Structure 1
Amino acid sequence: MCREYYSLTTRGGGTIESGGCRTNNRVRKSLLTIVGGTKAEEMEFPHMVLLGFGEKIKNVEWACGGSLISDRFVLSAAHCSEIGKKTPVKWALLGDNDIGSNEGAADPKIREIVERILHPNYKPPSMYNDIGLYRLSTPVKFNQFILPVCLNSEEQLTTKQAIAIGWGRTSSAGQTSNVLMKVSLDFVEQNECNRSYSSSTNPNLKFGINPSNQICAGQMEGGKDTCQGDSGGPLQIVHPEFECMYTQVGITSFGKLCGEPNAPGVYTKVSNYVSWIDSIVWPTSS
């Protein structure tokens, strides 16, 4: 599916075939390091989606992230289907970078979420299998601001870092950000991560961190992390084959205090769920 997406980017109505980047040259020079992060550029993450709660769009409360994986489906955390006493998640904002401004070339789109499909093995308050699919009311039209992300299907990751993005808090006690933020995080080994998360310290992690369906990422010395409001957003790596594209490897699931030492974030491991995702988003005709 990524090969098809690679030729979908348009500028001024013309298709840009392979080699045409969606972003300006500043974006890909480095993974500049939302706690400890930097602002994302317009069109850098066109798959990013903001999820909102509220019966009416005029009263929406944006509280989770997600990623566009097709013209009708958003991938996010299962726990983002309902947060606290809020009504079920109902709105998806696509193609925006700065939700506090109407300036720029972006033309954001809002879709109602009409179906929430949580993984059958998601059993809260257990923190395993925290993954869900959210179907949009009508398909979205792809452009340089709105494009799906590729999904990682490889069990083993060969890179040492990934990029997390979101509009969440910039510190544990801070405010959420109007501008999409990005941060480069180190992958953390299971044994090291289990020192922070175990069944003895968290009864909702009966088996500790499960490397089959969870990934740990952060900075063990502290300073860089995802935070409240970033839940459901993608953890991604630069696509190894298609220039200027990303592959999603994780979904922001949970953590401790944001950016604290020895407290990496925990992400749902996408590769473990690709078959389940395929069966819903791209079902084979019988």
Structure 2
Amino acid sequence: MSHTISPVGWALQFLQEIESMQLLKSAFFHLFLLTLSCAAKAAQHKNVVCSHRPAVNEEEEDLSSEILGNHDADAGAWPWLVSVQIASKDGTYGHTCSGSIIDNYWVLTAAHCFKAKVANNVEKIMLVFGLEQISRFSKNTYARPVAEVIKHENYNPDTESNDIALIKVTDSILFTDYVQPVCLQNQRLDIAELKPCVTAGWGMVEGKGKRTDILQEQEISIIPTAICNQGDWYNGSLSDQVLCAGFKWAGPDRCQTDSGGPLVCKVLGAGKFYQLGITNWGLGCGQRVHPGIYTSVRKYIEWIQWKTSKLSEMQVGSERARMASSPLNINDGIHSQTFGVLTVVGLVILFI
């Protein structure tokens, strides 16, 4: 027995089919927009390179070790430098240590910055980016709360061995001309090929007096560990997990509240700075035959990768990008083709 659909029934069925198609189109279109958004974010992240210093004219920059001592740093000169600030009893935050940006969410610093009980409460810690003057925030300065602090499992506060820590922020770090990640040393470098090596911070000058208000920079030299381990120097106490840097005689050095800050050296072949060390300890500040001691970043690359799950493309791909002969590599082509296909598909879905 056959059934005949009435004109009204046929019309209702047709409207239902149209509605179903509209819902399907809407779902595909929203998926298309989401895919475009993710692709745009990925492209934006991919375009970020480490040790970029957009606020500095490096051709005119004068970093000379002929003039010893600390000097005011230009705004944006060291865009990866971070002020680690801890809240006091009255709720105000004060600079305690320094650190360096290595990724969108991670800052590298020293484990000994978190010896104090209050420093183990992430709610009491604030990271300040783009800071030039401790007493005054500029338009280039902003802060981020902390989500997590990871100290090395084998950190020894008595010997300061394995003095390295990672800080994760709650919200992604916004990269600007004054806030940028630093490249990490991931292979052995020839000391002769490193010039200049620079440290920067707001620490006390020569270990006495008040902390400096304006960011200070200074050029120092990497000193072979064999020399620093001599009897009248550090008498064999230095392991291969640290670097010795400063001057053979009295000269510039990092002092209190500079802990955790980066020691960076310019690699001549790469044309940009790489972080070799993390400010650790020393006997006094700038004293004769007692240069500063820095945790060697290269020795802890695998630990950093493990704790952060992975280094971002800006770190892992920095060497590949430097060695690439063409500005457009295979991955860029694939991303461009994928983006183009998605755009065409999205437009077809929108207008059918």
Give the TM-score taking structure 2 as reference length. 0.67
Partner of 2:198, secondary structure, is strand
State yes or no: 1:222 paired with 2:265: no
Aligned position for 2:322: none
The answer (yes or no) to whether the contact 1:155–1:272 under 8 Å persists in 2 is no
Aligned position for 1:197: 234
Relative distance call for 1:177 and 1:3 in structure 2 (3 A) is farther
Relative distance call for 1:102 and 1:63 in structure 2 (3 A) is closer
Counterparts of 1:173 and 1:70 in 2: how far apart (Å)? 34
Counterparts of 2:51 and 2:219 in 1: how far apart (Å)? 27
- Tell me the amino acid that sits aligned with residue 48 of structure 2: Y
Counterparts of 1:26 and 1:47 in 2: how far apart (Å)? 20
1:192-235 per-residue CA deviation (whole Å, 9 max, x = no partner) reads: 2123224xxxxxxxx71012x10000112102111111100000
Aligned position for 1:163: 198
2:177 to 141, 144, 154: 144
Relative distance call for 1:7 and 1:185 in structure 2 (3 A) is closer
Counterparts of 2:57 and 2:205 in 1: how far apart (Å)? 25
The answer (yes or no) to whether the contact 1:32–1:38 under 8 Å persists in 2 is no
Counterparts of 2:137 and 2:128 in 1: how far apart (Å)? 14
State yes or no: 1:91 paired with 2:120: no
The answer (yes or no) to whether the contact 1:122–1:129 under 8 Å persists in 2 is yes
Aligned position for 1:281: 308
**Structure 2 unmatched runs, 5+:** 1-44, 312-352
The answer (yes or no) to whether the contact 1:71–1:140 under 8 Å persists in 2 is yes
Partner of 2:104, secondary structure, is coil
Counterparts of 2:145 and 2:286 in 1: how far apart (Å)? 33
**Structure 1 unmatched runs, 5+:** 10-19, 199-206
Q: Map residues 1-286 of structure 1 onto 2, 5 A cutoff.
A: 4-6=47-49, 21-24=54-57, 28-31=61-64, 36-54=69-87, 58-83=91-116, 86-88=118-120, 90-102=125-137, 106-158=139-191, 159=194, 162-194=197-229, 195=231, 196-198=233-235, 208-211=237-240, 213-240=241-268, 243=271, 245-283=272-310
Which gives a bigger RCO, structure 1 or 2 (Cα 8 Å, sep 6+)?
Answer: 1
Give the TM-score taking structure 1 as reference length. 0.81
Counterparts of 1:135 and 1:78 in 2: how far apart (Å)? 14
Whichever structure has more helix as a proportion of its residues is: 2
Counterparts of 2:47 and 2:93 in 1: how far apart (Å)? 34
- Tell me the amino acid that sits aligned with residue 286 of structure 2: G
Superposed CA RMSD: 2.7
| Residue 63 of structure 1, CA deviation | 1.2
Whichever structure has more strand as a proportion of its residues is: 1
The answer (yes or no) to whether the contact 1:226–1:258 under 8 Å persists in 2 is yes
Larger Rg: 2
